[in-house]
Structure 1
Amino acid sequence: MEAKFDNKWDIWYHSIKEDWTITGYEKLYTINTIEEYWKLYNNWDELGSINNKHFFIMKNDIVPIWEDPNNKHGGCWSFKVAESSAQELWNDLSLHMVTETLSSIDGDIIGLSACLKKNNSSVIKIWNKSSENNSLTLLCKDILNKWGLDIIYIAHMPDITV
């Protein structure tokens, strides 16, 4: 019997660079169990790997746009990594996220995104629900210690008072 996660996680793909509305996104897959996560993990190359596309993993039907009601009071930790390291970091972060061990605040992490940039680097973002929870100390120490990343926090709607 498969153990269900507390939350489901949707894999999204953004294909149209000019269209940042919901019509530019496609939901590809939903993860409800660790077995489904490992199935996806073992088949990322069939999707083209995260270095070739703009992928998102979002919690409980949250749409990967800042304007989604679940996102607009939140933000993201953003960091740039070498293209050669992006898939491994994505795998580390996504496993911590779906098992709810990426943050010390229950329920605050709502998504993860990765996008290849022109200079052989990828930008990876950890999305959270509340921009008030923007301290790096909230993130998993194992990730920070392993990767030693330069990370900035960006509020989705900085003019909104939470």
Structure 2
Amino acid sequence: LNVRFALKKIILKDDDSGDHDQNEENSTQKDGEKEKTERDKNQSSSKRKAVVPGPAEHPLQYNYTFWYSRRTPGRPTSSQSYEQNIKQIGTFASVEQFWRFYSHMVRPGDLTGHSDFHLFKEGIKPMWEDDANKNGGKWIIRLRKGLASRCWENLILAMLGEQFMVGEEICGAVVSVRFQEDIISIWNKTASDQATTARIRDTLRRVLNLPPNTIMEYKTHTDSIKYVLGVYGRTCP
């Protein structure tokens, strides 16, 4: 597996919607081919071997998946188009497997445009509507330019190392690269559990070595959905 090539292909590939069919016959043929592709993909997914630690590797408590997304700023997207836009980089089950991915990935500080890296437990999509996320929320920290790479690394290492000590509450983390600032966030399952969200906040402050006056905002995914619906009339994370 050429990890570097796979990551480069995912991150650098431009989105291309392709040409529309010119007649009904071609359209029907395309639909049939698409359905067959989807069936083949589903069968392939069901046969895909589970990711497990290799011999003598150090297993993590949970398997995790890296995702990447990029979109045009200011353009609202539906949850369906957002889901199609997030690219799965790969899943790992051990410390060694994590470093194989991470060592070849572009650092957040070197990304351009409107880009995001997501690291979530395997089986959880980085979407508000996912069953594991829908009743939860996230702590948000806005960073001045130049800090994202260090903070992102410290955050995900703390998450993989189970430093938050909140059981199964942690879902994943996101770093969002924007033009004037960068944003990191950590997502948890239960927004109404104030003791848990407070512990996550305090641990986050410690592992990132944040100054006491750092502004930290907690936002429920329900509020995020309501806000975007109010602005755009449709959801987009």
User: Which interval holds the TM-score relative to the shorter structure?
Assistant: 0.7 to 0.9
Partners of 1:10 and 1:59 within 8 A in 2: yes
Q: Distance in 1 between matches of 2:102 and 2:198?
A: 26
Counterpart check, 1:66 vs 2:128: yes
How do 1:40-55 and structure 2 match up within 5 A? 40-45=101-106, 49-51=107-109, 52=111, 53-55=115-117
Counterpart check, 1:151 vs 2:216: yes
Unaligned runs of 5+ in 1: none
Q: Which residue of 2 aligns with 1:97?
A: 159
TM-score of the pair, normalised by structure 2? 0.59
Q: Distance in 1 between matches of 2:101 and 2:206?
A: 23
| Cα displacement (A) at 1:60 | 2.0
Q: Distance in 2 between matches of 1:83 and 1:112?
A: 19
Q: Which residue of 2 aligns with 1:88?
A: 150
Q: Which residue of 1 aligns with 2:65?
A: 10
RMSD in angstroms over aligned alpha carbons? 2.0
TM-score of the pair, normalised by structure 1? 0.85
Instruction: Work out which of the residue numbers 114, 127, 151 in structure 1 matches 2:175.
Output: 114
Partners of 1:50 and 1:114 within 8 A in 2: yes
* More displaced stretch, 83-92 vs 11-20: 11-20
Query: Could you say if the C-alpha distance between residues 133 and 44 of structure 1 is closer, same or farther in structure 2, counting changes exceeding 3 Å?
Result: farther
Q: Which residue of 1 aligns with 2:185?
A: 125
Q: Which residue of 2 aligns with 1:27?
A: 88
Higher relative contact order (Cα pairs below 8 Å, separated by 6+ residues): 1
| Cα displacement (A) at 1:43 | 2.3
Identity of aligned residues (%): 23
Q: Distance in 1 between matches of 2:193 and 2:207?
A: 18
| Cα displacement (A) at 1:158 | 4.1
Amino acid at match of 1:136: A
| Cα displacement (A) at 1:147 | 1.9
| Cα displacement (A) at 1:28 | 0.5
Q: Distance in 1 between matches of 2:125 and 2:179?
A: 26
Amino acid at match of 1:153: Y
Amino acid at match of 1:56: H
Number of residue pairs matched by the alignment: 153
| Cα displacement (A) at 1:83 | 2.3
Deviations 1:10-53 (A, max 9, x none): 001113345443111111011211112222332222xxx22423
| Cα displacement (A) at 1:137 | 3.4
Structure with the larger helix share = 2
Ranges of 4+ aligned residues in structure 1 off by more than 6 Å: none
Partners of 1:112 and 1:127 within 8 A in 2: yes
Amino acid at match of 2:105: W
